[in-house]
Structure 1
Amino acid sequence: MSIVNSPELPPIALIAGPTASGKSDLAVRLAQALEAREKRAAVINADSAQVYADLRVLSARPSEEEMGGIEHRLFGTWDGATPCSAADWAASAKREIAALHAEDVVPILCGGTGLYLRTLLEGIAPVPRINSDVRKAVRSLTQSEARAALEAEDPEAAGRLAPADMARTMRALEVVRATGRLLKDWQAQKTGGIGDKITLHPLVLLPDREWLYERCDRRFGQMFDGGAVEEVTLLLDRDLDPALPVMRAIGVPEISAFLQGELSRDEAIVAGQTATRRYAKRQYTWFAHQPPVWWPRVSNNMLDMEISFVSLLRE
């Protein structure tokens, strides 16, 4: 992610990191600090689960109280029946950012979906729409089958992607099967990014892992007893395609299994906690290594917002 920084370009703050790392709270605090300096600010969601209206509880979407009087955008914007791709989100985020900049408002991107952020900042590869038959065939594969196929058909992508990263494995496999070209070849032609048109003020939260995993476990238990079961019940009542992202979101398969009598309550909670920790671990690894080295990375106990965002707060 190569970003141009110039005091003449409009600013964007970015707070990223794994799930349960405290990003939303920090984004609100930053917005409030800006507003105390008579600069308006708004938080823009960059989390692939929090975009869905159906996942208020399971995505840990901030409540009105947690928003702290700060405007939030792209939270709960998509109906679960309509998948939100990285390109879809980036297009919406660009519109929101442009509208905020036109009103002299500082956008604060907040989320843990690295692909969303990369697409927004770097642009998107012009991959043609994937044929539905190809997509259905790929999505029907098990994780081990998809991984073996990718190793045979796109070894470069298989070398980059973690074996557990099912979503990106399927995406790379879909692309090579549908287009006959490797994903990296398409990605070399990216267009539409805003990275060269903004001054970016990024911060990556990488808390202590044990603290993070304990927080993941505790939060999922609270979700289970705080409306997540009812949320999944409503999703199942809609009879949506099980391949939709909203149906594969962390917690939905585990609670679905509980509702269908396949798992006990305790087993479903443990399964959801395990899935959450694994997801947090993948995000942690991505943010530790993928963003540019100049993006600051801090643990929560080392965080000083006034120092981390000094260039933005003093503009």
Structure 2
Amino acid sequence: MDSMRSDGGVHGDTTLIAGPTASGKTALAVALARESGAAIVNADSMQVYDVLYRLTARPNDDELAAAPHHLFGHVPPSQTYSTGQWLRDVQDLLSGPLANRPVIFVGGTGLYFRALEGGLSEMPAVPDAIRESWRVRLKEEGPETLHSQLDEIDPLAAAAIGARDGQRIVRALEIFEATGVPLSEHQKKKGPSLLEPARTRRIVMLPEREWLRQRIADRFRIMISEGAIEEVRHLLSLDLDASLPAMKAIGVRPIAALLKNELSQEEAVEQSIHATRQYAKRQQTWFRTQLGDNWQRFDTLEELV
């Protein structure tokens, strides 16, 4: 096995670490950051949200102290944070505070990694007022009504979005209002790659199924013992729209039912573990089928050290 050590340099010296939840990505990222002096950038769409610290498995205090961490917990749960916004935040980091040091991207959101390599369309920023107005209309009129409106202005986008997928319908409508250009037209334009291929190492963790299933169960029970229930209590106290991404984080719904005395703690834990395992299975399928041959695949962290 070749050495994982980086000799530093500009942000072209990049390591990508992808994989399903609970596969050991954070431990690997921290180990490599200690060796190379790299900064760690979050590439997980749930770990961007504030409040849900334990429930989204963000790095713990010791891990955060081991290296500079960016784009973790920086978004209020009252907001929707898109892949496009993440990419813009990454661009700001790479041209600013991280311009002259190695960088490690770590996470389980495949679209973030695809965006890094220029595989996604660049979506324009949408003013908060427009975003909020469509969120209100979704609540008042329902997704089917808005889907009909989308079909009139952008039939290609409407055909690709289910009539009950309120979040994606609203996203298409708000982009059209903000830019006057249909979403389907924006999607035809691919973005630039932020990576220098010759100076980028790509690692995907794909552990053995039963090992991952047990690790998911063990980790969720630790989350509960370390305050995940109180995190959900805090989240619910914010009285947020149930359609927001943070409200859909795995574990929120069962723990909310626990807090309403609709489930026992063990029932809430088992439901959350089951949902996490199903999510990890989908992640593994995506990484196995969507990543190119230039990604190195490993079963365990021990293979890398």
Percentage of identical aligned residues: 37
Question: What's the counterpart of residue 110 of structure 1?
Answer: 106
**Please, which runs of 5 or more residues in structure 2 have no aligned partner?**
1-8
Question: What's the counterpart of residue 44 of structure 1?
Answer: 41
Residue 72 (structure 1) shift: 1.1
Question: What's the counterpart of residue 268 of structure 2?
Answer: 268
Number of aligned residue pairs: give it: 279
Superposed CA deviations along residues 2-52 of structure 1, whole A, max 9, x for unmatched, are xxxxx9982211111000001010001111122xxxxx3111111111111
User: 1:273-292 counterparts in 2 under 5 A?
Assistant: 273-292=273-292
Cα RMSD over matched residues? 3.4
Cα pair 1:9 1:198 within 8 Å, conserved: no
Mapped partners of 1:20, 1:127: distance in 2: 33
Mapped partners of 1:9, 1:233: distance in 2: 40
Cα pair 1:126 1:190 within 8 Å, conserved: no
Question: What's the counterpart of residue 308 of structure 1?
Answer: none
- 1:96 alignment partner, one of 93, 97, 111: 93
Mapped partners of 2:87, 2:172: distance in 1: 23
Superposed CA deviations along residues 180-222 of structure 1, whole A, max 9, x for unmatched, are x997764331224424688321100000111111111111122
Aligned CA distance change for structure 1 residues 44 and 279 (closer, same or farther; 3 Å):
same
Question: What's the counterpart of residue 3 of structure 1?
Answer: none
Question: What's the counterpart of residue 11 of structure 1?
Answer: 13
Mapped partners of 2:10, 2:97: distance in 1: 16
Cα pair 1:17 1:112 within 8 Å, conserved: yes
Cα pair 2:43 2:113 within 8 Å, conserved: yes
Aligned CA distance change for structure 1 residues 100 and 175 (closer, same or farther; 3 Å):
closer
Normalising by structure 2, we get a TM-score of 0.78
Mapped partners of 1:8, 1:109: distance in 2: 15
Cα pair 1:172 1:182 within 8 Å, conserved: no
**Please, which runs of 5 or more residues in structure 1 have no aligned partner?**
1-6, 35-39, 306-315
Aligned CA distance change for structure 1 residues 218 and 292 (closer, same or farther; 3 Å):
same
User: 1:206-217 counterparts in 2 under 5 A?
Assistant: 206-217=206-217
